[in-house]
Chains A and B, each alone.
Chain A
Amino acid sequence: MTTTTAAKPVAKPATMAQALGRAMRDAMAEDPTVHVMGEDVGTLGGVFRITDGLAKEFGDDRCTDTPLAEAGILGAAVGMAMYGLRPVVEMQFDAFAYPAFEQLISHVAKMRNRTRGAMPLPITIRVPYGGGIGGVEHHCDSSEAYYVATPGLTVVTPATVEDAYGLLRASIASDDPVIFLEPKRLYWSKADWSPESPAAVPGIGKALVRRAGTSATLITYGPSLPVCLEAAEAAREEGWDLEVVDLRSLVPFDEETVVASVRRTGRAVVVHEAGGFGGPGAEIAARVTERCFHHLEAPVLRVTGFDIPYPPPMLEKHHLPGVDRILDTVARLQWEN
């Protein structure tokens, strides 16, 4: 047994927003090729203040307010990455990344493949996504299905303060393009966290059991994790002991952790905000069925957003998967009385 003598830095409450900013700051300090760019990321620090202070510390060339043009931003990042830089791009909101999709799909996702590995693109694309903040039209899309359907992209989404830091550092360090989905309604969620010695977190491609249980597994990610944890607590009253798996990474997908959990519990529900039809849950349910067929006591069910354009703020509470809808679905898992 070893004992560490170094004083442990005190963990203070930090928000996910602060952890994300710190991740970029530390990456920039360590590696001069890391560049942050996007709309309003400089002087303003981004509309969510995630990049606050970076321009001041590293200068306008390392943290750049670009012209207002998402295709231009991402296209320029492609060229920068081709020349050896590691751009970290901020898309201001989920729905405003769409002008950049041509660049994303035709170039960012395919460059390594087209060049037989000669030209990887280490670009991190940060996209604040999802609803639940009362935002107007075009500010709340859950766009993950588009990204996960595009081969060549890594897609990750943190749900905790630690992961926000750890996964963003790992994304910036990755030589592949990463879509880094930031659940914007968790930006102000807090945890005791020390920026001086951030706890090591498992890297990209690893799911985590956030709550152990025996009755059924809730498989989720990003903004729906806290909802699932709350549902799992509430489920105790019904006599269900729910396990909650946080995927953390949609591509690559950690099949082993998910499969192991479902084999233990025999029942599974996938929960996400994106629409169900063709959503990530469809893929996950199919894989779980393939791998766990003989362990399953019930079909894999899904709780997702409706298959509608994102609703106006006053109606979003009906659309977003909440605790009650999750519990109602768990109740349908063919329990014997």
Chain B
Amino acid sequence: MTVQELPGAGASHRFTPPAWSPRTDAAPLLPDPEPYRVLGTPAADGLDPELMRRCYAELVRGRRYNAQATALTKQGRLAVYPSTVGQEACEIAAAMVLEERDWLFPSYRDTLAAVARGLDPVQALTLLRGDWHTGYDPREHRIAPLSTPLATQLPHAVGLAHAARLRGDDVVALAMVGDGGTSEGDFHEAMNFAAVWQAPVVFLVQNNGFAISVPLAKQTAAPTLAHKAVGYGMPGRLVDGNDIAAMHEVLSEAVRRARAGGGPTMIEAVTYRMEAHTNADDATRYRSDAEVEAWKAHDPVALLERELTARGLLDAEGIQVAKDAADAMAAALRDGMNADPVLDPMDLFAHVYEEQTDRLREQAEMLRAELEAGNE
């Protein structure tokens, strides 16, 4: 077949496109020029004191959790820990805005979000301790396995939310990813699917300044990451990730919108990773102490504490109560991690297929014989 013979070619090839109607809602899709803030602004007058006190308790607990987990790496109890010190407001707000039936899709850094959602800290840290890849039943907690390959969990979140919608459930999926992860193909594909399907998903990008050593400027040339949302046809919100009141408000709004059938939202939380990428990283190679120092003045825990104290919503006693609860959590975590996990090497073969193959049975027998010989 030549081009002339192609249907629609030749004289009648002049194609008249159907009337094109531009989206009328393009402008509202655009993110704010500055990260949205509540704490320290007049908007803080409208804060719900009860909610903010809960946020405060969670923040203090989250900070303590980070400190305890880092201490556990020094004692050799945890193989590795990617800290979220400085990012606690994002982690906690993400967990707080979800209903029980909703799903959280965390990245490897987001164990705190899982803990804030109610997961036992020891279970959240199993992957990083090294005894099993996922230390909990994802269905029971509605927390997907912590994803180590970056951005790969995002299409999963879209699929799950879409399926829930097809089944008539008003379930929302909230997926977390770092600034670096937004460069991955999976990020783009997930955003596009979500928008085309109008899936009830919230994408939370924690822009903590670096992907290991690579700063945001080498990751993207977009004015903000939130701008990326516009191209897919979903709103992009730019938020101060250290302001838990702003995070809670923007995330709740996105979850509400998703649940009501309004489609996905992408939120860029501007925050900062105060500690190294993991305990194995040397952050002095790629950033200055001065930069880290500057961010200390914008600490998420201190920000809320200042606001609440100034408004008379928090006193020394309230601070002490939060601290005691955090200490109790840390003590339980320490005890849980100090107990040596009891591992059964036969588990290696238990979960590869529903029914064990002959080959795996043979290999299991080989290992069993080795273990028995070793125990003699």
Residue pairs across A and B with CB atoms within 8 Å: the count is: 117
Which A residues are in CB contact (< 8 Å) with B79?
134-136, 313
Residue of B whose beta carbon sits closest to that of A102: B185
A69-B185, A306-B360 as given contacts; A43 in contact with B352, CB under 8 Å: no
Which A residues are in CB contact (< 8 Å) with B293?
none
A65 touches B343 (CB 8 A): no
A314 touches B211 (CB 8 A): no
A67-B220, A68-B150, A308-B360 as given contacts; A315 in contact with B347, CB under 8 Å: yes
Which B residues between 194 and 243 are near A, CB-CB below 8 angstroms?
Answer: 211-214, 218-220
**Residue of A67, A69, A95, A318 touching B345 (CB-CB under 8 A):** A318
- The answer to whether A72 has its CB under 8 Å from any CB of chain B is yes
A44-B285, A45-B285, A311-B348 as given contacts; A137 in contact with B148, CB under 8 Å: yes
**Residue of A39, A318, A325 touching B214 (CB-CB under 8 A):** A39
Interface size on A, residues (CB 8 A): 40
**Please, how many angstroms separate the alpha-carbon atoms of A314 and B219 in the complex?**
35
**Please, how many angstroms separate the alpha-carbon atoms of A40 and B212 in the complex?**
7
- The answer to whether A208 has its CB under 8 Å from any CB of chain B is no
Q: Say which one of B89-97, B129-137, B314-322 lies at the interface with A.
A: B129-137
A39 touches B212 (CB 8 A): yes
- The answer to whether B181 has its CB under 8 Å from any CB of chain A is yes
B348 touches A40 (CB 8 A): no
B343 touches A306 (CB 8 A): no
- The answer to whether B80 has its CB under 8 Å from any CB of chain A is yes
- The answer to whether B307 has its CB under 8 Å from any CB of chain A is no
**Please, how many angstroms separate the alpha-carbon atoms of A306 and B370 in the complex?**
14
A96 touches B213 (CB 8 A): no
Which A residues are in CB contact (< 8 Å) with B266?
none
A307 touches B363 (CB 8 A): yes
- The answer to whether B22 has its CB under 8 Å from any CB of chain A is no
Which A residues between 124 and 167 are near B, CB-CB below 8 angstroms?
Answer: 134-139
B294 CB to closest chain A CB (Å) equals 20
A312 touches B352 (CB 8 A): no
- The answer to whether A99 has its CB under 8 Å from any CB of chain B is yes
- The answer to whether B127 has its CB under 8 Å from any CB of chain A is yes
Which B residues are in CB contact (< 8 Å) with A137?
127, 133, 148
A72 touches B183 (CB 8 A): yes
Which A residues are in CB contact (< 8 Å) with B152?
99
**Please, how many angstroms separate the alpha-carbon atoms of A184 and B343 in the complex?**
26
**Please, how many angstroms separate the alpha-carbon atoms of A68 and B186 in the complex?**
11
A67-B218, A72-B185, A136-B80 as given contacts; A96 in contact with B149, CB under 8 Å: yes
B252 CB to closest chain A CB (Å) equals 29
B185 touches A71 (CB 8 A): yes
Which B residues between 273 and 308 are near A, CB-CB below 8 angstroms?
Answer: 280-282, 285-286
A315 touches B80 (CB 8 A): no
**Residue of B220, B341, B348 touching A306 (CB-CB under 8 A):** B348
Q: In the complex, which of the residues A42, A314, A324 has the most CB atoms of chain B within 10 Å of its own CB atom?
A: A314
A65 touches B214 (CB 8 A): yes
B359 touches A314 (CB 8 A): no
**Please, how many angstroms separate the alpha-carbon atoms of A72 and B219 in the complex?**
12
B367 touches A318 (CB 8 A): yes
A50 CB to closest chain B CB (Å) equals 14
- The answer to whether B121 has its CB under 8 Å from any CB of chain A is no
Q: In the complex, which of the residues B186, B214, B341 has the most CB atoms of chain A within 10 Å of its own CB atom?
A: B214
Which B residues between 316 and 345 are near A, CB-CB below 8 angstroms?
Answer: 341, 343, 345
Which A residues are in CB contact (< 8 Å) with B349?
306, 308
Complex interface bits, A16-35 against B, C-beta within 8 A gives 1, otherwise 0: 00000000000000000000
**Residue of B281, B348, B363 touching A315 (CB-CB under 8 A):** B348
- The answer to whether A199 has its CB under 8 Å from any CB of chain B is no
Residue of A whose beta carbon sits closest to that of B128: A136
**Please, how many angstroms separate the alpha-carbon atoms of A307 and B213 in the complex?**
35
A307 touches B370 (CB 8 A): no
A44 touches B132 (CB 8 A): no
B178 CB to closest chain A CB (Å) equals 8
Which A residues are in CB contact (< 8 Å) with B32?
none
A318 touches B348 (CB 8 A): yes
B353 CB to closest chain A CB (Å) equals 10
**Residue of B149, B343, B345 touching A98 (CB-CB under 8 A):** B149
- The answer to whether B264 has its CB under 8 Å from any CB of chain A is no
Q: Can you list 14 contacts pairing A with B, beta carbon distance less than 8 Å?
A: A39-B180, A40-B211, A40-B212, A44-B213, A47-B280, A67-B183, A71-B185, A99-B184, A313-B130, A314-B129, A314-B130, A315-B131, A318-B348, A318-B371
Residue positions of A touching B, CB distance < 8 A: 39-40, 42-45, 47, 65-72, 95-96, 98-99, 134-139, 277, 306-309, 311-315, 318-319, 324-325, 328
Residue positions of B touching A, CB distance < 8 A: 79-80, 108, 127-133, 148-150, 152, 180-181, 183-186, 211-214, 218-220, 280-282, 285-286, 341, 343, 345, 347-349, 352, 357, 359-360, 363, 367, 370-371
Besides A308-B360, A309-B352, A311-B348, 15 other CB < 8 A contacts?
A43-B285, A65-B214, A66-B218, A68-B180, A68-B181, A70-B184, A96-B150, A99-B184, A136-B79, A137-B127, A307-B357, A308-B348, A313-B130, A315-B343, A315-B347
